Amino acid sequence: MGAERLTELFGQNPSGLLSVFYTAGFPQLDDTVQIGRQLGAAGADLIEIGIPFSDPIADGPVIQDSNKVALSNGMTVPKLLDQVRELRNTVSIPVILMGYLNPVLQYGFDRFCKDASDAGVDGLILPDLPLDEYESQYRETVDRYKLALIFLVSPTTAEERIRRIDGLTTGFIYAVAANSTTGARQAFSEEQVQYFQRLKNMKLKHPFLIGFGISDHPSFTTACQYGAGAIVGSAFIGMLKNSGDKLQGIEEFVKSLKPA
Amino acid sequence: MKFSVDNRGYYGDFGGAYVPEMLHPNVEELRTRYLEILNDEGFREEFYGLLHDYVGRPTPLFFASRLSDHYKTRIYLKREDLCHTGAHKINNTIGQILLARRLGKMKIIAETGAGQHGVATATVCALMGMECTVYMGQLDMERQRPNVERMRILGATVVPALSGNMTLKDATNEALRHWINRPTDTHYIIGSVVGPHPYPDMVARFQSVISEEIQKQLMQKEGNPYPDTVIACVGGGSNAAGAFYHFLEDEHVQLIGVEAAGKGVDSGHSAATTVLGKPGVIHGSKTLLMQTADGQVVEPYSISAGLDYPGIGPLHAHLFQTGRVSFQHATDDEAMEAGLELSRMEGIIPAIESAHALATLKKNQFDPDDVVVVSLSGRGDKDLETYIGWKPKNDE
Ligand SMILES: Cc1ncc(COP(=O)(O)O)c(C=O)c1O
């Protein structure tokens, strides 16, 4: 149960993992389950589902817009948990919920962890949860419900702090590729590649997945040379928004990044 | 010091630095350096020098005799409206731009609601020859046109925030996003006692010059540095924090913070955070926040753009929770009436934000020899259109 799926996936020194992020309740309220299922079937290795929030300060225009649409579709935390429960009936890869802290706090942190765990969630990413508060107030609860909590590092995170994060994270480290909000962008710069290399050379206890700005096969492949895999968000959400046949779009999207 | 920030960045249950990892180095740099910089002798000299020669401080503490007769008590107005650029906001922007220079940051970003903080930021950027970008909600750009033009004349780039309700909250989101994207060369001058630690404490310290002067001026005029009551409006809470600062530990001084009730606290169109809010996290701090049961931030409403914010600074959340400050409310109509009353009675047209503070004079009982200080946080020039368009209820 819970973090075990992640431990299993990351336990055997994996490479080339594709994690796909999408916003719950977008484009339609009930799409969450279908999208997750199709991702699993098409060969994604992890699913990250975004909890929509009114004020997503770390997100660029594409994910901001998906949050807004999801909320106007009537998405809520209880509905999201129901959808994950349903998704779990047919999907066996790890499912991670990613969201800003406020909706989780309003639901009740303890209750949220319990219900998420019961629904079959494996881990959480809460980008605005500080490390100190996690250690002193929340860690015990996360552990009690056997959830993983995945922390971020960025190009400006100091080495000492990366070590601390390596000590606190469970499953993997989310390596943010650039100092930026989320969004698809051009090819990686020399500086970014040096940062990936620096992370790799640190021989951290946990593997890292690279996210933010991964949009196509070349950027995915580059990320996989350094990390255990990569996370794609905005590019996938952009595809969902524009594609006529969602299911086929998802299959093609996954195959284009990660040819079998 | 019951009301000072603790070493974790909290005021009681409120505060902290809830920022994504991408902002951590910036906030951490500020946290580790701000006190050393603020306490540095050279910094203080430069800060107080500019407040004196450029801002025009000390601002007068004016005994409003006709208003006093009317309310049968002794009312002083702390004339922040006479600061250069027309509001208290510049006390903070002078402080922060000097700090930014010491941190080696040459680019400045800011958010603004009424445009007063944006103008104050654009002004100090012009003064220091620094590049300035101001985020402002599209709706606020429309209702505070003159300030948009002032910022542009001063050389700032004004970027419309098009997300959400297109007001102050959304402008703040955009400024934070900008900072995430350009963390190394840019300093974010937040305009109120909000945001991640150390901003609330830093901004309160810069604004504390207001109560520092009130004490000295009351000593001269009344032979006693302590008033009976201090009243200030609360948007994020910076003019209130500044006006309360040196009185916080003196519990015999009654402190009143006035929030915007909009069309009425229960009308669904209000910005009365202490009544309508619950603890939550916004813009990097844990504080009282207007939100739905599902934790989505509610769009506030007030006729005054500067009070149109769904939270309050964590210091104020703590002052509310401990009961140290009495939080009261004024509706749009009450504020407009109070603004017009001051105009007619004392020849001072106040900012509509400040008029909210004045509106509570009639709702409180004061003794004839009580000394009541009202923070007149800004002047009404920017609000002329609203004043012109406003019809008193009994005229209809
Ligand atoms: C004149 C004036 N007063 C008050 C405020 C509210 O801000 P604060 O609560 O931080 O003083 C503003 C904000 O723009 C303002 O322009």
Q: Tens digit of pLDDT for each residue in A10-67?
A: 888 889 999 999 999 999 999 999 999 999 999 999 999 999 999 999 999 999 999 9
Total tally of structural domains belonging to chain A? 1
Helix pair angle (A31-42, A77-88), 10° resolution? 40
Tell if the CB–CB gap between A156 and B25 is shorter than 8 Å: yes
Give chain B's largest Cα–Cα span: 58
Does the pLDDT at position A194 exceed 60? yes
A126 in any annotated domain: yes
Does the pLDDT at position A1 exceed 60? no
- CB contacts, 8 Å: B293 with chain A: 106
The HSE-up count of residue A243 (CA atoms within 13 Å, CB side) is: 18
Sorted by sequence, the CB contacts under 8 Å of residue B137 that are 6+ apart come out as: B113, B160, B161, B164, B165, B166, B167, B168, B169, B170, B171
Tell if the CB–CB gap between A153 and B183 is shorter than 8 Å: no
**Cβ(B289) – ligand 1 distance below 6 Å:** no
The pLDDT tens digits of the residues spanning A105-146 come to 999 999 999 999 999 999 999 999 999 999 999 999 999 999
Nearest to B276 by CA among B258, B257, B289, B262: B289
- Ligand 1 mean position, distance from CA B259 (Å): 11
Averaged pLDDT for residues B210-239: 98
The pLDDT tens digits of the residues spanning B88-106 come to 999 999 999 999 999 999 9
Tell if the CB–CB gap between B294 and A103 is shorter than 8 Å: yes
Whether B151 and B115 have beta carbons less than 8 Å apart is answered as yes
State both tokens at B252.
Answer: 């015999």
Nearest to B255 by CA among B274, B242, B271: B242
Residues of A with CB under 8 A from a CB of B: 53-60, 64, 68, 71, 76-77, 100-107, 127-130, 132-133, 151-154, 156-158, 161, 176, 179-181
**Residue B110 dihedral angles phi and psi, to the nearest 5°:** -155, 160
- CB contacts, 8 Å: A70 with chain B: none
Does the pLDDT at position B239 exceed 90? yes
**Cβ(B118) – ligand 1 distance below 6 Å:** no
Res B209: pLDDT: 98
| Residue ranges, CATH 3.40.50.1100, chain B | 18-50+89-203, 55-86+208-395
Does the pLDDT at position B388 exceed 70? yes
Q: If phi over 0 gives left and psi between -120 and 50 gives alpha, with beta otherwise, what is residue B327?
A: beta
Residue of A nearest to B299 (CA): A54
What global pTM score does this model have?
A: 0.97
**Cβ(B116) – ligand 1 distance below 6 Å:** yes
Write the CATH number of the domain with boundaries B18-50+89-203: 3.40.50.1100
Nearest to B353 by CA among B383, B373, B325: B383
**Residue B125 dihedral angles phi and psi, to the nearest 5°:** -65, -40
Domain CATH for A11:
3.20.20.70
Does the pLDDT at position A2 exceed 60? no
Res B53: pLDDT: 98
Nearest to A129 by CA among A148, A95, A152, A108: A152
Averaged pLDDT for residues B252-273: 97
Q: Is the dihedral of CA B202, A138, A135, B178 positive or negative?
A: negative
Res A184: pLDDT: 64
Whether A23 and A66 have beta carbons less than 8 Å apart is answered as yes
The pLDDT tens digits of the residues spanning A204-221 come to 999 999 999 898 999 999
A177 in any annotated domain: yes
Bridge partners of residue B102, in order along the sequence? none
Res B393: pLDDT: 66
Sorted by sequence, the CB contacts under 8 Å of residue A135 that are 6+ apart come out as: A168
Measured at the CA of A149, the angle between CA A148 and CA A151, to 5 degrees, comes to 140
Determine which residue's CA is closest to atom 10 belonging to ligand 1: B238
Domain B55-86+208-395 class in CATH: alpha beta
> Starting at the edge strand that comes first in sequence, how are the strands of the sheet with A229-232 ordered?
A148-149, A123-125, A95-98, A46-50, A17-23, A229-232, A208-211, A173-176, A152-153
Q: Is the dihedral of CA B350, B352, B353, B355 positive or negative?
A: positive
Considering chain B, what is the average pLDDT of its residues? 96
Q: If phi over 0 gives left and psi between -120 and 50 gives alpha, with beta otherwise, what is residue B77?
A: beta
The pLDDT tens digits of the residues spanning B346-358 come to 999 999 999 999 9
Residue B211: active-site member: no
Give the closest-approach CA distance of B180 to chain A in angstroms. 5
The residue from A31, A45, A48, A115 that is catalytic is A48
What confidence tier does A7 reach under pLDDT thresholds 50, 70, 90?
A: confident
A260 in any annotated domain: no
Considering chain A, what is the average pLDDT of its residues? 95
Q: What percent of chain B has pLDDT over 90?
A: 93
In the block, residue with structure tokens 């500080």: A130
- Ligand 1 mean position, distance from CA A116 (Å): 41
Residue A77 belongs to domain spanning: 3-255
Res B195: pLDDT: 98
Q: How far apart are CA B32 and CA B198, in angstroms?
A: 9
Q: How far apart are CA B218 and CA B235, in angstroms?
A: 26
- CB contacts, 8 Å: A66 with chain B: none
Res B396: pLDDT: 44
A26 in any annotated domain: yes
What count of residues does chain B have?
A: 396
Q: How far apart are CA B186 and CA B172, in angstroms?
A: 15
What confidence tier does B183 reach under pLDDT thresholds 50, 70, 90?
A: confident
In the block, residue with structure tokens 């701000």: B34
A119 in any annotated domain: yes
Residue of A nearest to B297 (CA): A54
The pLDDT tens digits of the residues spanning B279-308 come to 999 999 999 999 999 999 999 999 998 999
Determine which residue's CA is closest to atom 12 belonging to ligand 1: B306
Q: How far apart are CA B206 and CA B201, in angstroms?
A: 9
Residue B246: alpha-carbon gap to chain centroid: 17
Q: How far apart are CA B25 and CA B31, in angstroms?
A: 10
